Amino acid sequence: MASFIKAHDVSLVFKAKDREPVTALTNFSLDIAQGEFVSIVGPSGCGKSTFLNIVLGLIEPASGVIQLNGTRISGPGQERAMVFQEFGLLPWRSVTANVELGLELKGVPSAKRAARATELINLVGLKGFENHYPHELSGGMKQRVGLARALATEPEVLLMDEPFAALDAQTRDLMQTELLQIWERSKKTVLFVTHSIEEAAYLSDRVIVMTARPGRTKDVIQIDLPRPRDYEMRLTPKFNDIKLRIWEVLREELTSRG
Amino acid sequence: MAAQAFFTEHRRLWLALCSVFFLVASWELVLTYVFPVDPFFFTKPSLIATAFREQLQGSKLWHDLAVSSQAFIWGFAFAVIVGIPVGLVMGWRRRVEYSLDPFLTALYASPLVALAPLFIIVFGVGVLGKAALVFLLAVFPFIFNTFAGVKSTDALLINVIRSFGGNEKDLYLKVILPSTIPYIVAGARLAIGRGLVGIIVGEFYAASEGIGFAISQAGDTYRLPDMFVGIIILSLIAIILTELMRRLELTVAPWRASDEVR
């Protein structure tokens, strides 16, 4: 398998003043193929979000190799975009202006930005809300804006940090299905961090289970469910078997911490 | 019942009007019937009203207002131009914060009007001296509120800008400044009050025209109704400007207004 994103022996220690240094990741390795949908699950504080920020280029690892398409990642870049758990929308900007943010920062001319924003707003189902402000939107709609903003820059890698964790259960189910539809059409590489075993199993090609801090790969579970997947698939015995397998691996990590 | 509904709905306005009316009426009645004090030593609303009417018809009041406004506008404008950038950089750059902190703490805590004599000596009795005094008093609310606004900028939004490859300038223009604007407007409200103090102190201390001079001169010559005219006009200006700022606050940050519990 040719690896598109390659992490090898990545370690990171957080040093804060007046505190014990915290080892967030030790010798964490992961290879992701182009177009693959990979989820990371693990106990709270295991460093999975930290890893996402390393791939994004906001944090530099203390040691180890982190590459995208054979080139070392040394900062944020055009090919990667993040969808944040708490949305991260600018409250003083309309939906359109928020979706245009990434393009604006990359210096795309305004006519082109507007056209691209309209396209993405339609894709995520927010037509008619172009001039609304974030405080006028529901959580689900806010995250649609977050997704549109990330997709607008046409990244090859979509990084998603518990993107649906702040949403209610029904909205969450809906957003998962829509994300799958968008992903199946665009075939972007997705690295998805979540606490939900069900979400990881439903969306992913592979699920990485991480150990408790300091985070390492505990197990990798291949999800060999056919695609396209739909909601009904989540009611099959096979789906439940997969969930159970992930749970059994994860449980050891949760109980070992008390 | 319709009348009662009307009163309940507009009670804020009519209760305010009632209490103002009550105060003015009692003042008038007490000074007319209970303690008929010589108008030389104290005055009452009916005399102030007469003085008001006379002054509105004359030209001196308008001239004084123009003179004071000029100094206020210059001083205030410079407070905005200097205060906001200083606050922004101080909030964002730790080294700048630590370097400026001792001066700002000392100057903010001290009664700055004590510097009025110095300012008049250095900058003169005219518009410049008063504008400098307004600047001195008004600049600190801008610096401190801008600083506080920057400090409260959502770290997530900073990360969002960085994640899309934004540079330092993008951080200032696209996140830090917009999220600080509501704080700046709140600072402007404080600065208006302090700036007006600057004008009045400057004109009390050394001036030959202006609204503060008019108040002090009226006081010196025992023309109490005229003195009150000046005071009332100052209050009205302060109320109008502050109210404008409150409106502006709601306009520039509607997302905050919707969070407020009414």
* % of chain A beyond a pLDDT of 90: 79
How are strands ordered across the β-sheet holding A5-14?
A22-32, A5-14, A63-68, A71-72
pLDDT of residue A118: 96
B159: chain A residues, CB-CB within 8 Å: 58, 84, 88
Confidence at A21, pLDDT banded by 50, 70, 90:
confident
Higher pLDDT, A243 or B13: A243
Enumerate the CATH 3.40.50.300 domain ranges in chain A, comma separated.
Answer: 5-79+155-256
- Cross-chain Cβ contact B255/A58 below 8 Å: no
Half-sphere exposure of B232 (CA within 13 A, CB side): 15
Q: What are the start-end ranges of the H helices in A68-168? A: 95-105, 110-123, 139-152
Q: State the Cα–Cα distance between residues A12 and A8, nearest whole angstrom.
A: 12
Establish whether the linkage from the previous residue to A228 is cis, with ω within 30° of 0.
Answer: yes
Interface test with B, best of A92, A93, A154 (most B CBs within 10 A): A92
Burial state string for B72-93 with b = 16 or more CB within 10 A and e = fewer than 16: bebbbebbbeebbebbbbbbbe
> Over 90: is that where the pLDDT of A66 sits?
yes
User: What CATH architecture does domain A5-79+155-256 belong to?
Assistant: 3-Layer(aba) Sandwich (3.40)
* Residue A199 vs residues A49, A227, B210: alpha-carbon distances, Å: 16, 15, 72
Q: State the Cα–Cα distance between residues B8 and B4, nearest whole angstrom.
A: 6
A99: chain B residues, CB-CB within 8 Å: none
Q: What is the ipTM of this complex?
A: 0.90
- Cross-chain Cβ contact B178/A134 below 8 Å: no
Minimum CA–CA partner of A150 in chain B: B164
Q: List chain B domain ranges.
A: 51-255
* B164 Cα to chain A: minimum distance (Å): 5
- Cross-chain Cβ contact A134/B255 below 8 Å: yes
* B179 Cα to chain A: minimum distance (Å): 8
What does residue A250 show for φ and ψ, rounded to 5 degrees? -70, -35
Report pLDDT digits (tens) over B35-73: 888 878 888 899 999 999 999 998 999 999 999 999 999
A131: chain B residues, CB-CB within 8 Å: none
Average pLDDT over residues B2-6: 78
* A246 Cα to chain B: minimum distance (Å): 31
- 3-state SS, residue A104: helix
The closest CB to that of A58, out of B163, B174, B179, belongs to B163
Q: What is B51-255's CATH topology? A: MetI-like fold (1.10.3720)
In sequence order, what are the beta bridge partners of A207?
A39, A221
- C-alpha closest to that of A124 among A149, A105, A106: A149
Report pLDDT digits (tens) over B65-77: 999 999 999 999 9
Report pLDDT digits (tens) over A68-115: 999 999 999 989 999 999 999 999 999 999 999 999 999 999 999 999
Q: Which residues of B sit within 8 Å Cβ distance of A?
A: 156-157, 159-166, 170, 174-175, 178-179, 181, 253-255, 258-259
Which of A7-11, B103-107, B250-254 comes out lowest in average pLDDT?
Answer: B250-254
Confidence at B1, pLDDT banded by 50, 70, 90:
low
A107: chain B residues, CB-CB within 8 Å: none
- Cross-chain Cβ contact B165/A76 below 8 Å: yes
Q: What is the mean pLDDT of chain A?
A: 92
Confidence at B5, pLDDT banded by 50, 70, 90:
confident
- B102: burial class by Cβ within 10 Å (0-12, 13-18, 19+)? exposed
B156: chain A residues, CB-CB within 8 Å: 84, 86, 88
B253: chain A residues, CB-CB within 8 Å: 92
Q: State the Cα–Cα distance between residues A215 and A10, nearest whole angstrom.
A: 10
Strand pairing of A37-41 and A80-83?
unpaired
Higher pLDDT, A244 or A257: A244
Interface test with B, best of A55, A60, A90 (most B CBs within 10 A): A90
Q: Can you give the three-state secondary structure of chain B, one letter per residue? A: CHHHHHHHHCHHHHHHHHHHHHHHHHHHHHHHHHCCCCCCCCCCHHHHHHHHHHHHHCCHHHHHHHHHHHHHHHHHHHHHHHHHHHHHHHHHCHHHHHHHHHHHHHHHHCCHHHHHHHHHHHHCCCHHHHHHHHHHHHHHHHHHHHHHHHHCCCHHHHHHHHHCCCCHHHHHHHHHHHHHHHHHHHHHHHHHHHHHHHHHHHHHHCCCCCHHHHHHHHHHCCCHHHHHHHHHHHHHHHHHHHHHHHHHHHHHCHHHHCCCCC
Minimum CA–CA partner of A159 in chain B: B163
B174: chain A residues, CB-CB within 8 Å: 90, 101, 104-105
Report pLDDT digits (tens) over A184-216: 998 899 999 999 999 999 999 999 999 988 888
> Over 80: is that where the pLDDT of B230 sits?
yes
Q: State the Cα–Cα distance between residues B253 and A60, nearest whole angstrom.
A: 36
* % of chain B beyond a pLDDT of 90: 62
* A194 Cα to chain B: minimum distance (Å): 18
CB pairs under 8 A between A and B: 58
